[in-house]
Amino acid sequence: MVFIFFVQGEGRGHLTQAVSLKEKLLARGHKIETVVIGTKDINDLPSFFKEAFLNIPLVCINSPKFSKDKKQQGIDLKSSFFSFIKNLPRYRQEIKKIGALVAKIKPDALINFYEPLAGMYWRKNKNIPLFCLGHQYFFEHPSFPTKSLTFLQKKALYFYNHLSAPIGANKIALSFTKETDCKTKKIFVVPPLIREAILKARPQDKNFILTYLLNHGYLLEIIDWCKDNPAKTVRCFCDKKNFIYPNLPVNLEINYLSGEKFINSLTDCSALAASGGFETIIEASYLGKPILMVPTKNHFEQKGNAGDAQRAELAISNKYFDLSLLNKEKTHSFSGRPAFKEWVDNYSNKIIEIIEGKIIF
C-alpha cells in the first residue's frame, strides 16, 4: 500500500509517532510517498525527524498553531483563536496544495497524526480512507478520566479532534492501558507507538534527572530548583537554541532538542520531569523511569494526558517543576509500568492490522 503522512509539527510527540509508524509500515513492505508537516520551515524540524525521513519528500504547510503567552510558558487561548480566524484564507490555499498532492500521488490511504488541515481537506474528499492517530482520540473513550478536564476544555478538545478526524474517519486512539475498542464512536484502541531505538534500549541509572520542556519559559523554575539542590544533577532539553543565562548553576546542563542525545539521556537518567506531552511519557514509562508531569499552562491536551497517565499509574503530576517529588520511595505512583510494557510488547501489530483492513468494525 502507498500512504501519505500528515503530521502536526508542534512539539515532538506527533513527529515521533510518525517515525515509529514509518518503521512498522516499511517492515511490512508498504510505502510512504510523502510526508506533509504543519510547520513553516523545514529547518524548524528536529534532526531526528529529518534523518528518519531522509529519502522521503517532506512538504511543509502553514497550519493552525497555539500562540504562547508572554512568559513563554503556556498557551494564549484568545490569541490562538484570533490567529486561526485571521489565517483561514491561507489555510484554504494550503488545503488546495494538499488536494493537488493527493491527486498526483493517488495513495491508497491517508494517515493523519493530528494535523487539522488534513481533516479539513478530507471532509470534502472522502473517496480515500483516512486513518487518524493520537492519544487525543482516547479522550472520547469511556475509560478516560473525564474529571481531569473542565466542561469547556472537553468541548474545545472534541472540536479540535473533529477538525483532524471528521465523521467517517478511522480514529486510532493511542492508550496507556489495554481497553476495548469503542464501535459506537468508531474508535480503535491500540498501544502507543514506540521507536525501535527505545524498544531496544537497555535502561541504566547514571544519577541525573532529565527534564524536557515544550516551552522554554519553564527554564527559570528548573534553574531555581538546581540552585536550591546543588547535589542533584539535571540535564534539560527544550525548544530554545543558544540559551544564555547569567550564573547558570553548575549542576544544570541545557540542550536544544536532538534525537540521539535525548534517547541516550532518557535511557540513562534516574527520572524524568517533563511537560505533559504524550510521547515522552510513554517512552520513559517503557524504560521504567519515575515521571513527573507538569502540563503547559492552558494546554488542555497536556492536562488530559497527565490525568490519564495518573489513572494508568505511570506518572505523578504537579503545577510546577518541583523535582523533589521524584523521590524514588514513591514507587506506588508508578505501579502501572509492568502492565504498560506488556500492552506495548504484545499488541504492537494491532495498528498495522487496522490500517491494512484486517480489523474493521
CB 301 within 8 A of CB 279: no
CA dist 172 and 39 (Å) reads: 23
Question: Which amino acid type is present at position 129?
Answer: P
Q: What pLDDT tens digit does each residue of the chain (361 aa) get? A: 999 999 998 767 899 999 999 999 999 999 999 999 999 888 888 888 999 999 999 999 998 877 666 666 556 667 777 777 887 888 899 999 999 999 999 999 999 999 999 999 999 999 999 999 999 999 999 999 988 888 888 888 888 899 999 999 999 999 999 999 999 899 999 999 999 999 999 999 999 999 998 777 888 899 999 999 999 999 999 876 666 777 889 999 998 876 788 999 999 999 999 988 899 999 999 999 999 999 988 788 899 999 999 999 999 999 999 999 997 656 567 899 999 999 999 999 999 999 999 998 8
Phi first, then psi, for residue 246 (nearest 5°) are -70, 140
pLDDT of residue 179: 97
Please, where are the H alpha helices in 111-168? 116-122, 151-164
39: three-class secondary structure by DSSP: coil
Question: Which amino acid type is present at position 197?
Answer: A
Domains of the chain, first to last? 2-194+346-355 (3.40.50.2000), 197-343 (3.40.50.2000)
Pairing state between β 187-190 and 209-212: unpaired
CB atoms within 10 A of CB 183: 9
Tens digit of each residue's pLDDT (9 = 90 or more) over 236-286: 998 766 667 778 899 999 988 767 889 999 999 999 999 888 999 999 999
CA dist 129 and 119 (Å) reads: 11
Q: Which of 286, 264, 280, 269 is CA-nearest to residue 323?
A: 269
CA dist 289 and 184 (Å) reads: 36
- What count of residues does the chain have? 361
pLDDT of residue 70: 66
Q: Which of 283, 353, 296, 210 is CA-nearest to residue 19?
A: 283
Looking at the DSSP bridge assignments, the partners of residue 187 are 171, 182
Task: Mark 61-94 as b/e (b = at least 16 C-beta within 10 Å).
Answer: bebbbbebbeeebbbbeeeeeeebeeeeeebeeb
pLDDT of residue 86: 82
CB 174 within 8 A of CB 131: no
Question: Which amino acid type is present at position 123?
Answer: R
And the C-alpha cell for 338?
509492568
pLDDT of residue 19: 94
DSSP per residue, 57-107: -EEEE----PPB-TTSSSB-HHHHHHHHHHTHHHHHHHHHHHHHHHHHH--
